[in-house]
């Protein structure tokens, strides 16, 4: 009798254990069915810099690994961003025009511009959907404590100070040169790190030497993060905003002289190798098929006349067939390369559909079952149908462009209209060019926008506003819809460093 009772109890315990293990395994499986997301954001890399976009070997600086990624994924040829670093990154993280966050100019350390505490970021959305989240690199959305990435949805952060960009190390040397400030190295810009909810910790001074090798540090952190998440059976979001090809384009010793066009080309080739290295790690971990990989650039290239830190050739990229560069509002500033790969789910090829940097957050939410806020205007659009081959044309037909407090341009289909006229800028000539951020110069246009057909006139040389005046109706309707949204949900004060 006792043996039978013991056997029954043993069988019951075994059944409970089996059910528990099945539940655990089922939970792990459910988590693993959500794709990992690896988002590599290049810096100031122009449309015409990457090989598959007309650059690469033709420019004297091959990009074989990014070209291979394009062959394996969907290459977007009408990927639209904002004119400069901070605005694009704010739009990426919030799925909202940067002006809605008060970040429509480049953030500068020491100024009050910072990502508001109440913004809901891509990292927060994915974390709430069960993802481990990390950013290694450049945040550039302000230094206020509430704005820092470890307080905006990321579990881990390692990189340059949250309010700085890649040339921050130069302040110590510049202070010495001008005899204006004398900053000891331990008080200058630092590499920092933080875990979720913790204060920033200084790791080491951010020097010229560190800048040369920073991207390889970011790769090492990224590989370690992916390895740990695989072991934990948890899907991950790894945001890797690398330094290439932001000035000063100081390559590591390994890549000095690698290209035929000076240090910009060397830096571009090093960035390509960085992308290849993190992709190789993904493959070695056996995660390639389960990971959405995005490679994109935040804005157009640095413009003509840029020659910094002893470069033997101008330290500039290429906007390809389009007019404009970093800080302008013309097409070459806001159309950049972008590639999305997800094996067996996203069919390799090329898409001409318009896709905004704001669209990634709602698209990812649609793919992983995440939630986006419903208490504020969301300007991003779920483009999962485009990525999965269900909608060849895409869901986006228009896009606004802001600089500081001003709505300066609108795009509808292939037509682009400008509401400001400007003095000649770095793009050469006047017309639609606008030097945004610091140095902007704009004047009213006597009531009529200038209109260009980007497809037939990529250099924006021929104003067709009078001939195609019927285009103004749809263009201005888009503006009115935006204005109505601001009445319902007012923007914070726009970024401004000149109008007091």
Q: How many domains are contained in the chain?
A: 2
Q: Do 371 and 440 sit in the same domain of this protein?
A: no
Instruction: Give the pLDDT of residue 437.
Output: 40
Distances, alpha carbon 256 to alpha carbons 32, 136, 270, 434, in Å: 41, 24, 9, 34
Residue 379 lies in a domain: yes
| Domain edge (last residue) among 375, 397, 419 | 397
Structural domain including 161 reads 34-397
Main-chain phi, psi angles of 241, to 5 degrees: -85, 95
The pLDDT value recorded for residue 421 is 78
- Identify the pLDDT of residue 111: 85
CATH code (residue 258): 3.40.720.10
In a domain, 326, yes or no: yes
Residue 351: DSSP 8-state: E
Residue 16 lies in a domain: no
Cβ neighbours around 199 below 10 Å, total = 11
Domain match, 447 and 304 both: no
Strand pairing of 156-159 and 132-137?
parallel
- 297 and 253 both lie in a single domain: yes
* Pair (475, 369) in one structural domain: no
Q: Is residue 223 located within the same domain as residue 257?
A: yes
The reply to whether 382 and 417 lie within a common domain is no
Sort strands 406-412 and 415-418 into parallel, antiparallel or unpaired: antiparallel
pLDDT at 447: 79
19 within domain boundaries? no
Boundary of a domain, candidates 359, 376, 397: 397
What CATH number is associated with residue 452? 3.30.1120.10
Domain boundary among the residues 370, 397, 424 is at 397
Q: Residue 237 corresponds to which tokens in the numbers above?
A: 């979001």
Predicted TM-score (pTM) of the model is: 0.90
Same domain, 441 and 356: no
What tokens does 427 get? Answer: 């793009």
Do 390 and 443 lie in a common domain?
no
Question: 272 vs 46, 50, 267, 276, CA distance in Å?
Answer: 14, 9, 9, 6
Does a structural domain hold residue 29?
no
Asked if residues 266 and 245 have their Cβ atoms less than 8 Å apart, the reply is no
- Parts of the chain with a pLDDT under 70: 1-32, 304-311, 422-446
pLDDT at 6: 41
Task: List residues with catalytic annotation.
Answer: 85, 140
């Amino acid at each position: 009798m006792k043996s039978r009772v013991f056997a029954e109890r043993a069988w019951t315990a075994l059944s409970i254990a089996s059910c528990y293990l099945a539940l655990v395994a089922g939970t792990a499986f459910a988590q693993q069915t959500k794709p990992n997301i690896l988002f590599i954001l290049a810096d100031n890399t122009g449309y015409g810099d990457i090989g598959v976009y007309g650059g690469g070997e033709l420019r004297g600086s091959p990009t074989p690994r990014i070209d291979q990624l394009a062959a394996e994924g969907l290459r977007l040829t009408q990927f639209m961003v904002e004119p400069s670093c901070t605005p694009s990154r704010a739009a990426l993280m919030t799925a909202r025009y940067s002006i809605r966050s008060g970040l429509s100019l480049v953030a500068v350390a020491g100024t009050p511009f910072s990502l508001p505490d109440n913004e809901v970021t891509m990292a927060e959305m994915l974390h709430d959907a069960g993802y481990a989240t990390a950013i290694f690199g450049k945040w550039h959305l302000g230094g206020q404590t509430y704005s820092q990435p470890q307080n905006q949805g990321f579990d881990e952060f390692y990189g340059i100070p949250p309010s700085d960009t890649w040339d921050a190390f130069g302040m110590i040397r510049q202070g010495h040169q001008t005899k204006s400030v004398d900053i000891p190295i331990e008080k200058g810009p630092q590499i920092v790190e933080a875990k979720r909810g913790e204060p920033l910790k200084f790791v080491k001074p951010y020097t010229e030497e560190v800048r040369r090798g920073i991207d390889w540090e970011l790769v090492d952190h990224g590989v370690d993060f992916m390895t740990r998440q695989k072991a934990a059976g948890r899907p991950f979001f790894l945001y890797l905003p690398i330094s290439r090809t932001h000035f000063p384009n100081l390559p590591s010793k390994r890549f000095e002289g690698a290209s035929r066009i000076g240090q910009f080309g060397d830096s571009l080739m090093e960035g390509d190798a960085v992308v290849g290295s993190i992709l190789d790690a993904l493959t070695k971990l056996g995660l390639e098929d389960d990971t959405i990989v995005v490679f994109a650039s935040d804005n157009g290239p640095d413009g003509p006349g840029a020659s910094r830190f002893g470069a033997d050739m101008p330290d500039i990229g290429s906007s390809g067939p389009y007019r404009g560069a970093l800080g302008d509002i013309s097409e070459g500033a806001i159309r950049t390369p972008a590639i999305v790969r997800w094996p067996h789910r996203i069919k390799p090829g090329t898409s001409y559909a318009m896709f905004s940097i704001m669209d990634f957050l709602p698209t990812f939410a649609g793919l992983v079952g995440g939630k986006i806020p419903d208490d504020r205007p969301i300007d991003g659009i779920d483009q999962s149908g485009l990525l999965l081959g269900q909608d060849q044309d895409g869901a986006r037909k228009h896009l606004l462009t802001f600089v500081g407090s001003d709505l300066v341009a609108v795009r509808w289909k292939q037509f682009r209209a400008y509401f400001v006229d400007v003095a000649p800028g770095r793009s050469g000539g006047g017309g639609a060019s606008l030097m945004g951020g610091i140095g902007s110069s704009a004047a009213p246009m006597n009531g009529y926008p200038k209109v260009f057909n980007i497809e037939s006139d990529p250099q924006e040389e021929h104003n067709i506003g009078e001939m195609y005046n019927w285009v103004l109706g749809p263009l201005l309707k888009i503006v009115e819809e935006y204005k109505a949204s601001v009445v319902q949900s007012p923007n914070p004060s726009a970024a401004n460093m000149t109008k007091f």
